Amino acid sequence: MTKYSTALDALTVANGEKLVWGRRTYVMGIINVTPDSFSGDGLGNDVPAIVDLARRFQDEGADILDVGAESTRPGHDPITADEELKRLLPALEAVAGAVNLPISVDTYKAPVAREALSGGACIVNDIWGLKADPHLAEVAAEAGAALVMMHNQKGTQYADLVPDVLASLKASVAAALNAGVAKENIVIDPGIGFGKNPDQNIEVLQNLGRFKSLGCPLLVGTSRKSTLGLLLELPSDQRLEGTAATVALAIAGGADIVRIHDVKEMVRVGRVTDAIVRGWRPDNWQGII
């Protein structure tokens, strides 16, 4: 397994820029190596198409690529680690050889994460926050890799939604630290669309600032999700404007990374929002004449 000598905040993202939390919001482009993505963008085993998409995302300004080989849509059929690796590794290795961006692997299985970190990934994105496979933290720690931990649960019953989600994420962070993952390598995700109904998703988005109390960078993923479809009464491929609204508001609420399908458009949304919220300016800015 590759041993990463740099922490997440030392990674080189778009255009050779070093990732520095708080400077601006980073864009994570979604690459679904699945036949059954909820958003209809699953590319299956078409490696040339996957590489083309990765290159396009890089050209459009993505900072990180998130490659996943198992659908996590509601009602999806789980697959074995062997099947996931069969789908994932050819695509991951091809993408790693084609772009100059950090690559995240979207998996909750330790054996898959281990192979992916040897195949070109340097971030593990766990939709179960170590609750499905606690050994995943040990894999990340051994590699010195970054670890994104999302809140998720079966069902949508909570005593008190935001405090409950916070407590769950706090437990995930503690488990990662106990396994040896460096604090600077941990990112949290409140899990929009996972174990939450539409009203709960909106409530979480209204309270993003509360998750900053955990002291970790915050990833938010709202792209094309069903709550937007219900609000707009539109299918997944027509939710661009709804996604843009949630991306802008998530950044205003403290998001450090946004995970999205429509890279070009959301990079533009992010830059304008960052200019207002974070004081970001492009290198060639001439706003004062």
Residue 258, H or E segment: strand 257-260
Which residues, including other chains, have CB under 8 Å from residue 48's CB and lie 6 or more apart? none
Concerning whether 18 is annotated as a catalytic residue, the answer is no
Determine the Cα–Cα distance for residues 124 and 145; give it in Å rounded to an integer: 7
Q: What b-and-e string marks burial along 67-77, b requiring 16 or more CB atoms within 10 Å of the CB?
A: bbbbbbeeeee
CA dist., res. 206 & res. 58, Å (int): 31
- The DSSP secondary-structure symbol of 184 reads G
Decide if 143 contacts 124 (C-beta within 8 A). Answer: no
Interatomic CA distance for residues 193 and 198, integer angstroms: 7
Catalytic residue (choose from 196, 224, 225, 239): 225
Catalytic residue among 86, 259, 268, 271: 259
* Residue 259 is among the residues annotated as catalytic for this protein: yes
Using a 10 angstrom Cβ sphere, with 0-12 exposed, 13-18 middle and 19 or more buried, the burial of residue 144 is: buried
**What distance in Å separates the CA atoms of residue 215 and residue 279, rounded to the nearest whole number?**
21
Pair type for strands 123-126 and 103-106: parallel
Residue corresponding to tokens 């990463």: 4
Positive/negative CA dihedral, 10, 29, 246, 226: negative
Token pair in block for residue 148: 């994104």
Tell me the catalytic residues.
225, 259
